[in-house]
Structure 1
Amino acid sequence: MGFQAELLAHLQSGETTVARAWGITRKDGVTLGFTDHDQDLSFDGFVFKAATGLTASAIEQGTGLSVDNAEAIGMLCDAAVTEHDIEAGRLDDAEVVSWMVNWVDVSERSVVFRGSIGEIRRAGGAFVAELRGLAEKLNVPRGRVYQRPCTAVLGDAACQFDVSDAAFQVQVSVAQADQGRMFDLSAISGFDEGWFTRGQLQVVSGAAQGLSGLIKRDWVAADGARQIELWEALRAEVSVGDEVLLTAGCDKRFSTCRKKFSNLLNFQGFPDIPGEDWIKSYPKKNGGNTGGSLR
């Protein structure tokens, strides 16, 4: 990346007052700022805290489409990055921007890295975060898959279904939680057993606020309480009385899209793909090769 003209002139002056600053924007919108200067800095909507022990390795940058990577090393503290935040996954894939800045005049600055946080390792009261460059996004597969089930996610731009409708979403309180994976909820009326299977549970209050998990099973207990099992445990504690938001599940089938959601026009699968029997069929004089049994 090229330097801003004013910063470049400052660097060429022979007597410099520069520092590094890192701005982190988490998926939930929370912003964090760090600097290796000995005083706090502020610009671009960030307050960059000093005395956090944050340092960064040399940033490897190349031409073309190669992936730029670096590492940031810092101390775990309550005011910045906490062990709880890392364990809960709140920093996963957070956006990172790094500047070189003249701390005497912060208007003289240039972006030297832009990317996201990858793997985080922690030990001995410190953390090491892998910083992945923008070219990392090029490794994500693109395009549609030719398959029978729908490839959309319920409620996304391809699906276009409004999941906020009261018939498909409900907020309830937690009556009991077991290891962040099994939940007993308050009784829910108006929703059939299994309505939320393959759906989503999102925590809206408490220590795990903002975290979500995919629902493996949804059933009604003998006492009428709703019970939910997630595929994977949430990475933060959910306590009795915390509020959770349940969203209806979709099994990606053509019939479910039509009957449960009335969203057939936006179905993103190919339900009429011929099966293996049809592919292996052979010509015959009478009857039609409809894809059915050849007996």
Structure 2
Amino acid sequence: MTYASREASTDASSPVELYEFRRGGTAWRYTSGAQDASYATYAYVAVPMKRGSIEQTGEIGRAGLRITLARDVEIAQAFIATPPSEVTLLTIYRQHRNDPETVAVWMGRVLNVEWRGSEVELNCEPVYTSLQRTGLRRLYQRNCPHVLYGTSCQASAVIYRVPGTVVSVAGVLLSVPSAAGYATGHFAGGFATWAANGITEKRMIVAHNLDVITLSAVPPGLAVGDTIYLYPGCDRTLATCAAKFGNSANFGGFPFIPTKNPFGGSPIY
């Protein structure tokens, strides 16, 4: 029998759902069935879990999905303090016992996690919500609107990053000796990256003074002696773009906008 015929059958159906979570190059795979399952050579571990209904609505932003698991499931551990820096993708597959045909019934990402006693609830949104993003983002403004180190900025993150070794960690404060050789605030507005359990974590740098780096949130998995990469920040002005990055050719702002409004009430422009 085909998947469609078993899905519509009143007595031959035996549905099993497979949940694949991905973050960077790491994946976690679970099944809501009573026994472990396999699909595409991957093993899916059976864990107690439940989900809300998958709905087809006219409003994409409201077609979210909530998944409830035991709070000790590994996928939820990265959300205990703050959400991980990389997006956690989720794909839900559905199949029937002893049937090789498997279909993907839902795709999206995990937004956040809510802790409820012995359980944890994952709040997810479908991939279609990306269609709601603003298409035209450029404005007539003095400062540059480009994402730092992005495709429009074209400044090389690899060239300007500074490697270092963490000598102390105290909440959001780090001591990185290699940062002391740069002017105060050189890395403010940039970000720091490091490897933790095979995943590249990232946090924004909100302040920099000598060897002290202040992050926007507690760095998960970062310990004394770890290697860290510091990426300089940018205040989006033409002067900084030229002096700090030598990248004025790709400056996206309009720094020479007249300060006086030609359509104002003054008869003299």
Return the TM-score normalized by structure 1: 0.80
Q: Matched residues, percent identical?
A: 21
Could you tell me which runs of 5 or more consecutive residues in structure 2 were left unpaired when the two chains were aligned: none
State whether residues 67 and 133 of structure 1, in contact with CA within 8 Å, keep that contact through their aligned partners in structure 2: no
Between the aligned partners of 2:250 and 2:44, the Cα distance in structure 1 is 45
**2:26 aligned residue:** 30
* 1:118 to 1:21, Cα distance in 2 relative to 1, 3 A: same
Between the aligned partners of 2:178 and 2:86, the Cα distance in structure 1 is 34
2:229 to 237, 241, 245: 245
CA distances 1:152-171 after superposition (whole Å, capped 9, x unpaired): 12211111111201xx2121
Segment of structure 1 superposing worse, 31-40 or 141-150? 141-150
* 1:46 to 1:267, Cα distance in 2 relative to 1, 3 A: farther
Higher strand share: 2
**1:127 aligned residue:** 120
Q: Residue 62 of structure 1: CA displacement?
A: 2.7
Between the aligned partners of 1:193 and 1:131, the Cα distance in structure 2 is 40
* 1:29 to 1:237, Cα distance in 2 relative to 1, 3 A: closer
* 1:55 to 1:182, Cα distance in 2 relative to 1, 3 A: same
* 1:248 to 1:45, Cα distance in 2 relative to 1, 3 A: farther
> SS in structure 2 opposite 1:265?
helix
1:212 to 202, 206, 214: 202
Do residues 40 (structure 1) and 36 (structure 2) align? yes
> SS in structure 2 opposite 1:204?
strand
Between the aligned partners of 2:117 and 2:86, the Cα distance in structure 1 is 20
State whether residues 202 and 210 of structure 1, in contact with CA within 8 Å, keep that contact through their aligned partners in structure 2: yes
- Read off the aligned partner of 2:186 and give its amino acid letter: W
Between the aligned partners of 1:53 and 1:198, the Cα distance in structure 2 is 42
**2:2 aligned residue:** 6
Q: Residue 64 of structure 1: CA displacement?
A: 7.2
Instruction: Give the root-mean-square deviation of aligned CA atoms.
Output: 2.7
Between the aligned partners of 2:204 and 2:265, the Cα distance in structure 1 is 40
Between the aligned partners of 1:283 and 1:44, the Cα distance in structure 2 is 74
Between the aligned partners of 2:67 and 2:15, the Cα distance in structure 1 is 18
* 1:278 to 1:45, Cα distance in 2 relative to 1, 3 A: farther
Between the aligned partners of 1:61 and 1:92, the Cα distance in structure 2 is 27
* 1:279 to 1:255, Cα distance in 2 relative to 1, 3 A: farther
Between the aligned partners of 2:5 and 2:199, the Cα distance in structure 1 is 47
- Read off the aligned partner of 2:37 and give its amino acid letter: L
Give 1 or 2 for the bigger CA radius of gyration: 1
Q: Residue 91 of structure 1: CA displacement?
A: 8.5
Do residues 175 (structure 1) and 170 (structure 2) align? no
> SS in structure 1 opposite 2:81?
helix
* 1:209 to 1:115, Cα distance in 2 relative to 1, 3 A: closer
> SS in structure 2 opposite 1:121?
strand
> SS in structure 1 opposite 2:131?
helix
2:109 to 112, 116, 130: 116
Return the TM-score normalized by structure 2: 0.87
Between the aligned partners of 2:40 and 2:259, the Cα distance in structure 1 is 56
CA distances 1:161-209 after superposition (whole Å, capped 9, x unpaired): 11201xx212111111211x1111124576344322221112235x796
* 1:204 to 1:213, Cα distance in 2 relative to 1, 3 A: same
Do residues 234 (structure 1) and 218 (structure 2) align? yes
Between the aligned partners of 1:91 and 1:202, the Cα distance in structure 2 is 10
Do residues 156 (structure 1) and 140 (structure 2) align? no
- Read off the aligned partner of 1:47 and give its amino acid letter: A
> SS in structure 1 opposite 2:239?
helix
**2:248 aligned residue:** 264
Q: Residue 74 of structure 1: CA displacement?
A: 0.6
Could you tell me which runs of 5 or more consecutive residues in structure 1 were left unpaired when the two chains were aligned: 221-225, 290-295
Higher helix share: 2
State whether residues 199 and 214 of structure 1, in contact with CA within 8 Å, keep that contact through their aligned partners in structure 2: yes
- Read off the aligned partner of 1:57 and give its amino acid letter: G
